Amino acid sequence: MAGADRGRCRAVALVQITQGAPGVEPGRGQWGFRANVCSSESQMEARVQQRTLGSQGLVVSALGLGCMGMSDFYGPRDDQESIATIHRALELGVTFLDTADIYGPFTNERLVGQAIAGRRDRVILATKFGNQRGPDGAFLGINGKPEYVRKACDASLERLGVETIDLYYQHRVDKTVPIEETVGAMAELVKAGKVRYLGLSEASAKTIRRAHEVHPISALQTEYSLWSRDVEDEILPTVRELGIGFVAYSPLGRGFLTGRFQRFEDLPADDWRRNHPRFQGENFERNLRLVERVREIAAEKRCTPSQLALAWLLARGPDIVPIPGTKKRKYLEENVGALRVKLTPDDLRRIDEVAPKGVAAGDRYPAAAMQRVNL
């Protein structure tokens, strides 16, 4: 190794990932293990594998980046670090960025737009509409009316500073508007060149089928993780039957599966998760036991709990793309390290034993929000 390259050696959980690349033996790190990788700066700008969502031609990085927490819900903001995290993601080949107009509200799209300025051709950009909030942050309801679809899209394009949205989701289904009308309006956006592909979020199997008949749906975004596996019963089989890709949000259980939260008090005072059933009281303590079992398997695999949870999702099928959210580069790099973790059939069996469907204590949302999913 040349002297200049030797000086650039860094301890990170990242390597260049290519189709069929062999696993890399990792070294030690925070939860026991991270990779020690020595390479040139050009090699450090890794390109992760890509996956296809749907059958209309949408190709994205195998791991995406959820941007919500950079602007809302999860404690204080740090826009400078958030933008640096997005830039680092693009360097590493994590080019699938996820935002929504509700995040902030509105400010997250502006932040993402600022971060990708001059880099648009390197990004697959996804955003969402349907959850209405006022400028003061108040939740105003769900809106799937065609005129609102058009208005919301134009507003998102302006905030993002782009001419086209790659993947446009209905964030939540509006029970008062036939899905055919909402998706019909979304299809008009495709014809107008404002949107390339369409998606739904937290829709039921029946709604997905009806929507797909109006216009091809390329992706369904719904919560899926070691502690939220209910999609395996009906939703996942349906999208696979229809050739729709699956984008897994909250793949780390809103951070709980990372093991970073050992007490309720570890959550910032203004963190939305303090209102989440799985983070409260006895549920918190019971869910900690799940995290400990995940950590034990992760230690044997010489990876972090986060990496094990993401590797498990990636192993569920090539049509699944997790989008873990973070606003810090160090956690982004840790997450990308999941692409190196190779799980054997025995590993998957053991994970199923410690994290079967229904293992989590508590609902995945507060009661009011649970009324707005799987519609």
* Phi/psi at 238 (5° precision): -70, -50
In the numeric block, the tokens 């840790």 are attached to 334
CA distance 272 to 282: 18
Give catalytic residues, as residue numbers. Answer: 103
CA distance 214 to 263: 47
The backbone region for 142, taken as left when phi is positive above 0, alpha when psi lies in -120 to 50, beta otherwise, is: beta
* Phi/psi at 201 (5° precision): -135, 130
Enumerate the β-bridge partners of residue 53.
58
